[in-house]
Chains A and B, each alone.
Chain A
Amino acid sequence: MILNPFGTADWMAIAPIVALAIASLLVLLADLVARPAISRYGAVAIGLLGTAAAAVLAAMQYGHVYAAFFGGFVTGGFTTVFEEIVAIALAGSLALYATLGDPKRIGGTVALMLWGSCGAMLMAGAANLMTIFLGLELLSLALYCLCGMVDRRGARESALKYLILSSTASGFLLFGMALLFGASGSVLLADLARPQLAANPLFWMGSGLFLIGLAFKMSLVPFHAWAPDVYEGAPLPVTAYMSVATKAATLAVFARVLYAALPAGTASHVMLPVWIVAGISMIAGNVGMLAQHDLKRLLAYSGIAQVGYILTAMAGGSALGLRYAIYYLVAYTFMNLGAFAVATAISGEHEEGARLVSYAGLARRRPWLAAAMTFFMLALAGMPPTAGFLGKILILATSADSGYAWLGGLLVAGTAISLYAYAKVVRAMYLPQSGDHHVADLRPIAPLAWISVTLCLIGVIAMTFYPLTPSNVLPLLR
């Protein structure tokens, strides 16, 4: 009899990832077979179909907890939520890529985006160190290539920078994993929660190096310098993808470690440096935004601060905190993708939408786009009629409740600073400019970018009025 170590149920658990992988192979095949005939829309259509299939398959798993591959991949609740976030980011950036992308490279780019998302979804469900590393590298390797996929010197440079710095961070993460394996004798995250580990120096060194690696991937402050440069150099749709999917996947790993893989009583000690770094990120990220004249750099600094907000929600290690963190992450996904979609809608070949100068007088040329951008900026800043405001209130409440009021205080301070930076974009669009000669270069309307803007608007508004936070996520985490 042939030994079959993995049953059908194991393959069902990774069905969304398999769907993405199949779609990416189909894109490559179509690109190869029908090269002159396949338009950029053809490749993107296959990609979007694969993404939709993955999203539906993931949604069908919700509530059916299953630990596949000897406990290496857990799916059902928490994982499903993060898989959906990755699917949203992927669908959004594919739509943007159809508008802006280089037709010569469309097949490879779409395939890489799909593979990167396989990695991100693996990270979302990773319950042992091997799966975390595999998912992280799959995502990162795809992103290095994606950053350099255009003929621009800046893009190549950002790819090199990202490759070197991110691989170094992977080295730290991996060495930390090796030490954690040495401490526990197991690669399962759940085995790291054994109480006797609290006295083992290997555990402390290992978790320290592991967290340095994660902090880099989340672009927290001492390890954030790569983010603005890489975001600036990478093509606009790739930046949009990176800003959401990488953060979501890394936050999923971080949350699983925090909630399910620490010996009882050690969480507040092991994670204290992370909370401090998150606090610094909220201030430094928002201060960094003030000096930027490039939308991608501005949103990179914004992202550094936003990760800080999400970590603030988790700081107490409470179930409620995780729910609010997920709520804010979903809202952030829509706001950020929306801002990038507006930038794409006013971009041509040279990515004009990435520069703040291009927004001068936009309110007269494209009043609806300007209104949408204003809404997204207000949401990112956390102003009252938006999901960003609701999310911040919930985070403040939970941080005060769990004894991390100082983080809440830093969040408020950071928000106050950020208002000025976000207002800069809005001011440019609405204030009449003396040298306003941009009226002439009105581009034809890019339908997919406009659809993305609309869907993101609907997403943010829906999140405001129906603050859905998955209630039974925490018990499904392990």
Chain B
Amino acid sequence: MTGALPVALGNYVALASVMFFIGVVGVLVRRNPLVMLMSIELMFNAANVLFMAFARAWLQNAGQIFAFLVITVAAAEAAIGLAIVVAVFRSAATVDVDEVRSLHG
């Protein structure tokens, strides 16, 4: 590994892992699709933290570009996600995932 990081690389990995874990728990525990979407964003951003840290450690710009790509995709995903949540609310008058279950399973 090259390049001097003011903070040890391990700390970034730890931070990202904690963020990712919070995101996963959020998706599993919360029943509101908006909060679930936020948790998913947290998972994506955990990956971004890793990409930035590793890009600095390896002196590889690819990681930074990847992070930009992820930010763009996450924005598109949020836009589509909110549109779908609105569409579900219009047809079901609720968005709680425990109540939106006319499909068996």
A residues near B, CB below 8 A? 129-130, 133-134, 137, 141, 144-145, 148, 151-154, 156-161, 163-164, 167-168, 170-172, 174-175, 177-179, 181-182, 185-187, 225, 228-229, 232-233
Contact = CB atoms under 8 A, between A and B. Distances in A.
A156 B95 CA distance: 11
Contacts of B43: 168, 171-172, 174-175
B23 to A, nearest CB: 7
Contact of B51 (A153, A163, A178, A229): A178
B69 interface: yes
B97 A182 contact: no
A185 B76 contact: no
A100 to B, nearest CB: 19
Contacts of A161: 103
B41 to A, nearest CB: 9
B92 A163 contact: no
22 contacts: A130-B66, A133-B66, A133-B70, A141-B76, A144-B80, A153-B102, A154-B103, A157-B100, A157-B102, A163-B77, A163-B81, A163-B84, A168-B27, A171-B23, A171-B47, A178-B66, A179-B50, A181-B54, A181-B66, A182-B54, A187-B63, A233-B103
Q: Determine the interface band of chain B, counting residues with CB < 8 A from chain A.
A: 35 or more
Contacts, number: 132
B36 A157 contact: no
**Majority SS of interface residues in chain A?**
helix
B88 interface: yes
Contact of A160 (B20, B23, B76, B88): B88
Contacts of A157: 88, 92, 100-103
A130 B64 CA distance: 11
A156 B50 contact: no
A186 B103 contact: no
A158 B97 CA distance: 11
**Majority SS of interface residues in chain B?**
helix
B20 A137 contact: no
A137 B78 CA distance: 12
A167 B54 contact: no
Contacts of A168: 24, 27, 40, 43
B91 interface: yes
B62 interface: yes
B9 to A, nearest CB: 8
A164 B33 contact: yes
Given A153-B102, A178-B16, A181-B51, 6 more contacts: A156-B88, A156-B92, A174-B43, A178-B66, A187-B66, A229-B105
Contacts of B80: 141, 144-145, 163
Interface string B55-93: 001101011011001100100110011011101101110
A187 B62 CA distance: 7
A177 B20 CA distance: 13
B15 to A, nearest CB: 12
A148 B87 contact: yes
Contacts of B20: 171, 175
Contacts of A159: 84, 87-88
A145 B86 CA distance: 13
Given A130-B62, A156-B84, A141 B77 contact: yes
A174 B19 CA distance: 13
B105 A134 contact: no
A137 B77 contact: yes
Contacts of A177: 47, 66
A57 to B, nearest CB: 26
A167 B47 contact: no
A172 B23 CA distance: 10
B76 A137 contact: yes
Contact of B102 (A129, A154, A174, A228): A154
B50 A130 contact: no
A133 B23 CA distance: 19
